[in-house]
Structure 1
Amino acid sequence: MDDGMALGLDKLVDVLKTAGEPTRFRLLALLSAGDLTVSDLTDILGQSQPRISRHLKLLSEEGLIERYQEGAWAYFRLKQDGPVSPLARLLLEAAGSDDPVLQRDGERLAEVKRVRAERAQAYFSRNAAEWDELRRLHVSDRAVEEALLRLVGSEPIDALLDLGTGTGLILQLFQNLYRRAVGIDASRDMLAVARANLDRTGILKASVRQGDIFNLPVEAGDFDLVTIHQVLHFLDHPERAIAEAAKVIRSGGRLIIVDLAPHTLDYLREDHAHVRLGFSHQTVTEWLEKLDLSVEQVIDLQPSAKAEAPALTVTIWLARAAATAAGAGKPVQRKSLVSDVAS
């Protein structure tokens, strides 16, 4: 363990006592595999809700796990940061993978995740036709993802925040770069889809939670990359969402916005709840610069000539926090990338 994170004797003993109780250690093992509710944990362990809640409270007080609210539900997960986290991981690694109790807990956890995935898939299937229609209107998702990977580059990301995370696409796209990530969405149904996708891909260093994009449930200055992917056109005041995002970016951190360029498909307002019909380079750039965010690149991704008409252009803005902005004062680079694949 890093000396800077070393625990005093009293704290070390308290943590070991708390984690050393059998039920609490089983809870730690389960929460290391994903975010779970009290109901999930009672189903898996076969113990009463008050008993499970008491154990969770003790684990939380020692900094071993964290709790967050999602509507009427509370979710718990293994704490990823802090002085106690390295010790928790060390203890979990020491547990034998062939232990029959932990194996049985793992089997029950797999069943809980299977049911969760089925519910998420049912919601996804009910809305698939609408999403497919929207995807056909603009450049392919793959072209957008490739552009984002090029923009972000290969430098490791300490902490990623994805606003309006939806199905958790961004959390999956950058999984090989970040140390930890959080996805925020207002819809519990979409969070269920995102959580199922994280379970399916085995991504344990990312979590999703319900939250208001205008009042984020995270700490200021806590993230070095923030993404807002196809969200702003649903908002009455998109500039306020960008301002809220700017608060949580670290000095020198980056913000990426992906949204539609200006268009004239007015039916999207009525049929798909679009409030804004796209955004110009100038409008978003002005919003960013007012927040002392330096715009580094603006990229247009245009549908191929083979795409069905009408076709929409997707624009990506990359900006950096002003305190250590790389290349501040340089002219904005405006690029146009044409996809060879029809939407």
Structure 2
Amino acid sequence: MDQLLAGLKSAGEPTRMRLLAILAQGELTVTELTQILGQSQPRVSRHLKLMCGAGLLERFTEGTWVFYRLAEHGEQARLARTLVDLLPDKDETLARDLVRLDTVKLTRANDAAAYFKTVAADWHQVRSLHAPEAEVEAAMRAFAGESQIDQLLDIGTGTGRILELFADLVEHGIGIDLSHDMLSIARANLERANLSHCHVRQGDMYNLPMPDGSMDTAIIHQVLHYADSPSDVIAEAARVL
């Protein structure tokens, strides 16, 4: 009861309800949220701190960046989703927020595309050294079958392509990569495909940021040839399964 009341209290303010509605669409930085809300960073940060403390939101770092999103697991995550579902469909303030959110996402996508343009030649050259991508992806899907996957981990996610490929089979998908620039590309690709149940995090394939046994499936695609110790990468993947 106390936890429920704490969650309701932390959401019981117009700006915080707007934050829930916005973050239900994906993960955003404080700077992006201030642009959408039209409020100062200290004020927005205070709201976010309270809502994270109540378990409605999650906070995670990516280098010097800090992102926020709706909580994904537990009773407070269910409460957050319920509150979002109860929001009116035709509220003018929420509608304006979503328009500004689209602008933020477009800026993200343009920045990611500009970066990818600078590395595209090397990226495609590396891909050309391997088996045809379409055949590899078809084989991976065939191996996976049609059974639903609760928690999917893509290690070395790059552009997020594997998350896109398996999105229709997974309840939750997470991609791990060390590069903030590649994570920006993956995040933009997932947003463009409206895959809000898939997200990315900065992390090391030798030290995955998740507890033992928390994943159902792990994929390591075109990554092991970069590893100094492939066996350690495989052992770390096995740890979280």
- The normalised TM-score by structure 1 is 0.69
Selected match of 2:108 from 116, 126, 133: 116
Shift of 1:137: 2.6
For residue 127 of structure 1, what is the amino acid of its counterpart?
V
Shift of 1:88: 1.6
Q: Which has the larger strand fraction? A: 1
Selected match of 1:222 from 214, 218, 232: 214
Query: Is 1:80 the equivalent of 2:72?
Result: yes
Selected match of 2:94 from 95, 102, 105: 102
Instruction: Quote the Cα distance in structure 1 between the aligned partners of 2:3 and 2:183.
Output: 36
Instruction: Quote the Cα distance in structure 2 between the aligned partners of 1:196 and 1:213.
Output: 22
Query: Is 1:185 the equivalent of 2:177?
Result: yes
Shift of 1:49: 1.1
Structure 1 ranges of 4+ moved more than 3 A: none
1:125-140 aligned at under 5 Å gives the runs: 125-140=117-132
Query: Is 1:175 the equivalent of 2:167?
Result: yes
| Secondary structure of the corresponding residue to residue 75 of structure 2 | coil
Instruction: Quote the Cα distance in structure 2 between the aligned partners of 1:37 and 1:176.
Output: 27
| Secondary structure of the corresponding residue to residue 90 of structure 1 | helix
Spell out, residue by residue over 1:40-84, the C-alpha distance to the aligned partner (whole angstroms, 9 max, x if none): 111111111111111111111111111111001111111111111
Q: Which moved more, 1:87-96 or 1:172-181?
A: 87-96
Instruction: Quote the Cα distance in structure 1 between the aligned partners of 2:128 and 2:172.
Output: 32
Shift of 1:139: 2.1
Query: Is 1:36 the equivalent of 2:28?
Result: yes
| Secondary structure of the corresponding residue to residue 84 of structure 1 | helix
1:278-317 aligned at under 5 Å gives the runs: none
**Residues matched between the structures, number:** 241
Instruction: Quote the Cα distance in structure 1 between the aligned partners of 2:163 and 2:21.
Output: 23
Shift of 1:91: 1.4
Instruction: Quote the Cα distance in structure 2 between the aligned partners of 1:12 and 1:132.
Output: 50
Give unmatched runs, 5+ long, in structure 2.
none
1:93 aligned partner: 85
1:47 aligned partner: 39
Instruction: Quote the Cα distance in structure 2 between the aligned partners of 1:35 and 1:163.
Output: 19
Instruction: Quote the Cα distance in structure 1 between the aligned partners of 2:77 and 2:26.
Output: 15
1:131-280 aligned at under 5 Å gives the runs: 131-249=123-241
Shift of 1:33: 0.4
Spell out, residue by residue over 1:84-129, the C-alpha distance to the aligned partner (whole angstroms, 9 max, x if none): 1222212111111211000010011100000000010011111111
TM-align CA RMSD: 1.0
| Secondary structure of the corresponding residue to residue 236 of structure 1 | coil
Q: Which has the larger helix fraction? A: 2
Q: Give aligned-pair identity as a percent.
A: 52
Change (3 A) 1:92 1:137: same
For residue 22 of structure 1, what is the amino acid of its counterpart?
P
Q: Which moved more, 1:130-139 or 1:35-44?
A: 130-139
1:267 aligned partner: none
For residue 193 of structure 1, what is the amino acid of its counterpart?
I
Q: Which moved more, 1:236-245 or 1:107-116?
A: 236-245
Query: Is 1:20 the equivalent of 2:12?
Result: yes
Shift of 1:135: 2.5
Spell out, residue by residue over 1:188-239, the C-alpha distance to the aligned partner (whole angstroms, 9 max, x if none): 1100000000110000011101111111111211000011110110111111
Instruction: Quote the Cα distance in structure 2 between the aligned partners of 1:14 and 1:139.
Output: 53
Instruction: Quote the Cα distance in structure 1 between the aligned partners of 2:14 and 2:239.
Output: 41
Instruction: Quote the Cα distance in structure 2 between the aligned partners of 1:91 and 1:236.
Output: 47
For residue 94 of structure 2, what is the amino acid of its counterpart?
L
